[in-house]
Structure 1
Amino acid sequence: MVNMLKRMRKLRELLWIRNGPGAIQLPKEVTKISVEFHKKLIGSQHRGARHFWHDILPRIKYRNPTLPISVIRHADPAGPAYLNIYTSTPTPQTSTTPPPSTTTAPEALNDTPTHTIEIKDLHESEILEALVEKTGAVVLRTPPEEAAEMAEIEEFKERAEVDRVEVREKLMKVRREEELLKLARGEISAQE
């Protein structure tokens, strides 16, 4: 069984999915989000779209679990890069009779997006700003306790990297000394 402290640290690192850029609550009218971009990173045209897909979309999905999100990666490097937002438009009530049934299920998805944002050559933060602007999403702030916990995790990672370098240097020093001893004893030749 893995050390309990190691497991706790790994679980605490999952805070990144709850906080940070992309931790937004989308309105109920948004029924689907679709992202389209090139599947390989050639040049910097699709870099923002790829970073948006990799870093920000998981947070959006975490905060909006019922929202379908589709990612289309095409093979044409000169191809388009779009963020499509599908919304349900509430129909105005013209009659005085109540609706036949009140359900919480989203309406049928439209085939055409309500908003299309060209995301080629945009930074992932600009893409997120455009999404929030078009949908009217609520940006969720990080609670102070989780912010402190995230700072503690970052501090731990920095200390771990310093410790890793020190241990590597000590290990290399020990190996060099062992090789010099073997060379002095004549167990290995100087050419090896």
Structure 2
Amino acid sequence: MEFNKKIYGGHHGARKFWREMLPRIKFRNPAIPIEISRHEQAEGPSLLHIYTTAFPPDTSTNPATKAPTPPSSTPNAQNTLTPDTAKPEHTIDIRSMSELTILEQLIAKTGAEVIEMTPEEQEEWEEVQKFKETSERDRQTVRDKLMRERHEQELMRIARGDAA
């Protein structure tokens, strides 16, 4: 995946996909090598390259020829199983796409299976959502209280004749 470091020039969806969707994909698929390339040019490319032939052939039936497990993370390009000379099987231009559209394109191109949340994960998700709602209400309450205090201080300053 390659995109601009900033959101300008249509790279917003790519950045959100990288921050929100890619960690979830990596969590469910730890053996898939992922490489991210971020550049400085707003007019530069915003592409998602999909390599489906990066892994060696399946040798799980014969333990003597079993290939090593791919790394769970890709700290640098030298550790990925994607060869530099290999041509990607699919390339998606993700400029000006939303993160959900990018995910849909990725699923369509790879034929990936969408995994539904387990009941435990669903409960955890609902708990996090309730926490976020409560946090927002609390933030608004604190903000309102602070604004009232500042307004009262301003009125007291005007009443004392300290206003400029």
- Which protein is richer in strand relative to its size? 1
Q: For 2:101 and 2:57, locate their aligned partners in 1 and report how far apart those are by CA, in whole Å.
A: 32
- Paired residue for 1:7? none
SS of 1:129 mapped into structure 2: helix
User: Which is worse superposed, 65-74 or 168-177?
Assistant: 168-177
| CA spacing shift, 1:138–1:173, aligned 2, 3 Å | same
User: Which is worse superposed, 100-109 or 56-65?
Assistant: 100-109
Instruction: Please tell me whether residue 119 in structure 1 is matched to residue 91 in structure 2.
Output: no
Can you list the C-alpha shifts for 1:72-125, whole angstroms capped at 9, x where unaligned? Answer: 112222222111112237669xxxxx9793214269533322222222222222
Extract unaligned runs of 5+ from structure 2: 71-80
Q: How does 1:122-133 map to 2 (within 5 A)?
A: 122-133=97-108
Residue 166 of structure 1: how far off its partner (Å): 2.6
Residue 176 of structure 1: how far off its partner (Å): 5.7
Residue 128 of structure 1: how far off its partner (Å): 1.2
Q: How does 1:162-177 map to 2 (within 5 A)?
A: 162-173=137-148
Q: For 2:140 and 2:21, locate their aligned partners in 1 and report how far apart those are by CA, in whole Å.
A: 32
Structure 2 residue corresponding to 1:101, chosen from 64, 72, 89: 64
User: Which is worse superposed, 56-65 or 167-176?
Assistant: 167-176
Can you list the C-alpha shifts for 1:34-76, whole angstroms capped at 9, x where unaligned? Answer: x011222224x22221111111111111112232211111222
Q: For 1:76 and 1:120, locate their aligned partners in 2 and report how far apart those are by CA, in whole Å.
A: 13
Structure 2 residue corresponding to 1:55, chosen from 20, 31, 47: 20
How many residue pairs match? The answer is: 149
Q: TM-score, normalised by structure 2?
A: 0.70
- For 2:64, the aligned partner's letter is S
- Paired residue for 1:157? 132
Q: TM-score, normalised by structure 1?
A: 0.61
Instruction: Please tell me whether residue 144 in structure 1 is matched to residue 109 in structure 2.
Output: no
| Contact 2:12/2:98, CA 8 A, preserved across alignment | yes
Structure 1 residue corresponding to 2:42, chosen from 77, 81, 85: 77
Extract unaligned runs of 5+ from structure 1: 1-34, 93-97
Q: Give the % identical residues.
A: 46
Instruction: Please tell me whether residue 190 in structure 1 is matched to residue 162 in structure 2.
Output: yes
- For 1:117, the aligned partner's letter is I
- For 1:51, the aligned partner's letter is K
Q: Considering only aligned residues, what root-mean-square deviation do their CA atoms show, in Å?
A: 3.2
